[in-house]
Amino acid sequence: MAQTDIVARLLAGDRRALARVVTLIENGAPETRAILAELHAHGGHAHIVGFTGSPGAGKSTLVMQLARELRKREQRIGILAVDPSSPFTGGAILGDRIRMQELAGDPNVFIRSMASRGSLGGLAASTRDVVRALDAAGFDTIIIETVGAGQAEVEIVRAAQSVVVVTVPGMGDDIQAIKAGILEIADIFVVNKADRPGADQTAAELRMLLHLDEHRKERVWRVPIVRTNAMTGDGVPELADKLAAHLATLRTSGMLASRSGQQARSEMLALLHQALIEKIEATIGADEWDRLVAEVVERNRDPYTTADELARRIGLVPPG
Amino acid sequence: MAQTDIVARLLAGDRRALARVVTLIENGAPETRAILAELHAHGGHAHIVGFTGSPGAGKSTLVMQLARELRKREQRIGILAVDPSSPFTGGAILGDRIRMQELAGDPNVFIRSMASRGSLGGLAASTRDVVRALDAAGFDTIIIETVGAGQAEVEIVRAAQSVVVVTVPGMGDDIQAIKAGILEIADIFVVNKADRPGADQTAAELRMLLHLDEHRKERVWRVPIVRTNAMTGDGVPELADKLAAHLATLRTSGMLASRSGQQARSEMLALLHQALIEKIEATIGADEWDRLVAEVVERNRDPYTTADELARRIGLVPPG
């Protein structure tokens, strides 16, 4: 397929063209950039939702139930699993497998596991690019599922417009970890497995943390706590409603524009950083770079002066 | 104090000069780089140890006990707390306050809280720079304490030569989170509060995870699991021994050189990225940058072509 052809077919809703573009992105094929540059103009309609939380919290089952709920609401759904332990990647329990087959057979659902592809930094970039392709292809909601424990996962989830943090009753110290790292990125909290003992207490603790954190949050949106049971589907319609409400608030408050601005900024900086690396490789070369690093390690050079010299040589700093 | 003066005094062991340099680093003062460039040549002797783990695991108490143990071994100790909830930052319980006063009054101990300074990315850079100053000033062990839940903390802990991950019995899902994110960076596991029920089980679960992970680890070092009770000091001498053993292994195996190489590489890239940002600011200016970002958000431009154009304008890519 020629490039204009594949773009036109993807925009017309051709699933094969979409799958091909996603594969090109994952392989880092050189023609991908031009395709994505074209696709960018056709996006901006999808609701991009990030799901994060500890393994064992039931995220994947919940994502599948949400997808089913949104299908009932006539939406087209994309699901990107960026979690090596996700059942989307294999190893699903029976109930999940049945739900997944139902979804996977639906032409209005696109499921892809991004787990095993390339470096973590590269994973964030390719997830963002696949979201762009799905958005241009007309998917209404694009769900990104990550395990949320590491650096790359947080970066990935920042690409979302609405972030759902999934917890379970009886997490104890986990609540503390949430306080430290995850609280600031959550737009909606879910207490899953809400039929278990301790659900009230977990919800109350979250409520208290959110209250403490309130001064940092945009005032227009109060982070809700939704109780679900992903196995039975209880609470999933409410989660879908809260997501729709969050998107509406993002749009009317101007927060969507400001988040999109931050995302565009960081994407452009990442692309420029890539150009910087390529320039260093082309100007200095791997051998000299390795020699300079070795001299810094041996303390025959310092990193500050060395970086200054390199910045001059690649033209970032005027000579002198 | 003139620059050469302050460097000479810091190298001679003057505490006031050291405190001054640390303050200059935290304030991002322009003269800092030249000072650090000079100091770099005098470092490379300290053992840099990172402590991470959930809040409530007793990290800070353990760090204080370890510092006392290393003082008995005639070492000079630096402690950098990069954790807003650390008692080094305030809010210590009584036992910790007493231990901290004892340490803080010791001229061979330098304690600094880095918690509230600047952005998270900036925090990683200034922690690295303060480590460099302490190293040049002749401290034998420099301990960096972080909460370990977010992106910046992982980046900070990567600056250490030996990483201690502190857990407590009965973590349940926390073990899963460790599996996902922290396992790969741990050189030593501590099960603190080892007098509590469940310590055996936690140690066994960690042992199993480590066994599963073994193929990824450098074979020369088997990650030990040390049981401690930070309140009583039980197990702390063993922890100090394991740290010394890890440093010896790093040195004899060549792993120290390879870790130092990776750290120098990433530091130089970070410095070059900073030069890139300054070049963008100088060439393009905030107004035009904001306008370009807005056009990308409105989809009148795409980020790929825009970044290419900017790379050309700042000279990273030849025109054409």
Minimal C-alpha gap between B309 and chain A (Å): 10
CATH 3.40.50.300 fits A44-253, yes or no: yes
Model pTM score:
0.79
Identify from A35, A132, A176, A205 which residue to disrupt to test chain B contact, counting B C-beta atoms within 10 A and taking the largest count: A176
Its CATH class, for the domain covering B44-252, is alpha beta
* Whole-angstrom Cα Rg for chain B: 22
Enter the ipTM: 0.85
CATH 3.40.50.300: which residues of chain B?
44-252
Q: State the DSSP H helix or E strand holding residue A191, giving kind and residue range, or none if neither.
A: strand A188-191
Lowest mean pLDDT among A96-110, B84-98, B276-290, B304-318: B84-98
- In residues, how long is chain A? 320
Dmax of chain B from CA atoms? 69
Tens digits of per-residue pLDDT, A288-305? Answer: 999 999 999 999 999 999
Minimal C-alpha gap between B242 and chain A (Å): 25
The answer to whether the CB atoms of A174 and B173 lie below 8 A apart is yes
Q: Can you tell me the mean pLDDT for B82-87?
A: 58
Separation of alpha carbons A21 and A24, rounded Å: 5
DSSP character at residue A234:
B
CATH 3.40.50.300: which residues of chain A?
44-253
Contacts for B263 with CB less than 8 Å, ≥ 6 apart: B158, B159
Separation of alpha carbons A175 and A212, rounded Å: 14
Residue B148 confidence (pLDDT) above 80:
no
- Cβ–Cβ pairs < 8 A, chains A and B: 192
Minimal C-alpha gap between A71 and chain B (Å): 28
In chain A, residues with a C-beta closer than 8 Å to the C-beta of B25 are: none
User: What is the token pair recorded at B258?
Assistant: 């390879």
The pLDDT value recorded for residue A103 is: 82
**What's CA A192's distance to the chain center, in Å?**
20
The pLDDT value recorded for residue B62 is: 94
Dmax of chain A from CA atoms? 69
Please report, for residues A49, A205, B79, B300, the alpha-carbon distance to residue A171 in angstroms, rounded to integers and kept in the order given: 24, 10, 31, 46
Chain A within 8 Å of B172 (Cβ-Cβ)? yes
Residue B135 confidence (pLDDT) above 90:
yes
The chain A residue lying nearest B309, using CA atoms, is A272
Return the residue matching tokens 């409530």.
B56
Chain A within 8 Å of B91 (Cβ-Cβ)? no
Q: Which of B43, B276, B297 sits opposite A261 (nearest CB)?
A: B297
The answer to whether the CB atoms of B299 and A44 lie below 8 A apart is yes
**What's CA B318's distance to the chain center, in Å?**
38
Confidence of residue B179 (pLDDT cuts 50, 70, 90): very low
Q: Can you tell me the mean pLDDT for B249-254?
A: 94
In chain B, residues with a C-beta closer than 8 Å to the C-beta of A305 are: 37
DSSP character at residue B180:
I
Residue B288 confidence (pLDDT) above 50:
yes
The chain A residue lying nearest B318, using CA atoms, is A279
Minimal C-alpha gap between A290 and chain B (Å): 9
The answer to whether the CB atoms of A268 and B296 lie below 8 A apart is yes
* Whole-angstrom Cα Rg for chain A: 22
| Burial profile B266-303: b = 16 or more Cβ within 10 angstroms, e = fewer | bbbbbbbbebbeebbeeebeeeebeebbeebbeeebbb
Q: Can you tell me the mean pLDDT for B122-142?
A: 92
Tens digits of per-residue pLDDT, B44-60? Answer: 999 999 998 776 788 88
Please report, for residues A318, B266, B275, the alpha-carbon distance to residue B279 in angstroms, rounded to integers and kept in the order given: 10, 20, 6
The chain B residue lying nearest A37, using CA atoms, is B302
The pLDDT value recorded for residue A33 is: 92
The pLDDT value recorded for residue A53 is: 78
Among the listed residues A136, A133, A135, A188, the one whose alpha carbon sits nearest the alpha carbon of residue A157:
A188
Chain B within 8 Å of A237 (Cβ-Cβ)? no
The pLDDT value recorded for residue A91 is: 47
Mean pLDDT of chain B: 85
The pLDDT value recorded for residue B234 is: 96
Separation of alpha carbons A294 and B159, rounded Å: 17
Chain A within 8 Å of B212 (Cβ-Cβ)? no
Low-confidence ranges of chain A (pLDDT < 50): 91-92, 117-118, 173, 179
